[in-house]
Amino acid sequence: MASGNRIAIVGVTGAVGQTTLQILEQRKFPVSELRAYASARSVGKTIRFKGETIPVEVVSEDSFKGIDFAFFSAGSEQSKKYAPHAVKAGAIVIDKSSAFRMNAEVPLIVPEINGGAARDHKGIIACPNCTTIVTVMPLKPLHDVGRLKRVVATSFQAVSGAGVNGVAELREQTIAWTKGEPIKSKFFQHQIAFNVIPHIDKFVEGGYTGEEIKLVNEVRKILAIPDLPITPTTVRVPVFTAHSISVNAETESKISASEARAAFERFPGLRVYDDPAQNRYPMPIIVEGQDDCYVGRIREDISCANALNFWVVGDQLRKGAALNGVQIAELLI
């Protein structure tokens, strides 16, 4: 490999790990060495990167000697167990799990919004939840223009957000339906094919779910508005890739739909896709595989003088996870 940074990817065989590989190559990130780590069940597998075949190894406490950046996408338990060892070895950890997001000493970064805070790290930088990233991208320019006062967010989340098992279940149930066979639910709590499930993660106090509380806490931390009122609902839908969020944002000063559209158009990482007369609005089938978050259905709230409604869609495997992590590393080099 060419000169550059020594990279480790933990969870390399998962959807986010694989997407991280693609993005590192697509963006020509300078990599001199790449180490691929996963669990014991992946031993014997290989991955391809820049024309080279790299064996997948079992991650251990001693895996990070000489590593510059360690991307973690293997879940909270793996991050908690191995990230401190990576930091001790001198690596900068970019973690995509929920393990460190709300740790006061760990910056929670969306580069377009608070990238400068990444430099205040103490070895670990956290990526937000994928739904949080897609939601907060259009909230930032609105806050800059009119100061956010209250947010209502309802997400419609693709099955790939639940990993390979979620994708397999939707595919298997759809095939079973076309054949007239019984539909079995093994992974999700209910049938996901031709259905929506208003329940992601475990229920917590007050009837909310963990996924919903993540959205509240993480948006507040990223925007540095610790008391911002946010009310969330998260829903699983029978879509393979890309999360969609319906947002109602109330601001202290009035923002017209045209002013909001202009603010969105100026903001890096957002693409306005909004032409109702031509039935143009963001949809997962359009946004899948794209780096930008698409925003449309921009309209003023007819029930509240200083509020807007809009619809935003982002590929949760790219901007919602892998791309955001690579962008953080780009900031630091």
The confidence score (pLDDT) of residue 43 equals: 84
The confidence score (pLDDT) of residue 163 equals: 87
Convert the pLDDT of each residue in 203-221 to its tens digit. 998 999 999 999 999 999 9
Confidence tier at 164 by pLDDT (50, 70, 90): confident
Burial 190-221 (b: 16+ CB within 10 A, else e): ebbbeeebebbbeeeeeebbebbbbbbbbbbb
Q: What is the mean pLDDT of residues 229-258?
A: 98
Report whether pLDDT(264) > 90: yes
**Closest listed residue to residue 212, CA positions, set 165, 170, 157:** 157
Catalytic: 130? yes
Q: Which position among 130, 143, 190, 293 bears the catalytic label?
A: 130
Q: Which position among 85, 121, 143, 243 bears the catalytic label?
A: 243
More confident of the two residues 225 and 43: 225
The confidence score (pLDDT) of residue 297 equals: 98
Report whether pLDDT(2) > 70: no
Q: How many helices (H) and strands (E) does the chain have?
A: 9, 13
Confidence tier at 1 by pLDDT (50, 70, 90): low
Report whether pLDDT(35) > 80: yes
Convert the pLDDT of each residue in 219-231 to its tens digit. 999 999 999 999 9
In the chain, alpha helices (H)? 15-26, 76-88, 111-114, 130-146, 164-178, 210-223, 257-266, 284-287, 323-332
The mean predicted confidence, pLDDT, of the chain is: 97
- Structural domains of the chain, with CATH: 5-127+321-332 (3.40.50.720), 132-316 (3.30.360.10)
Catalytic: 190? no
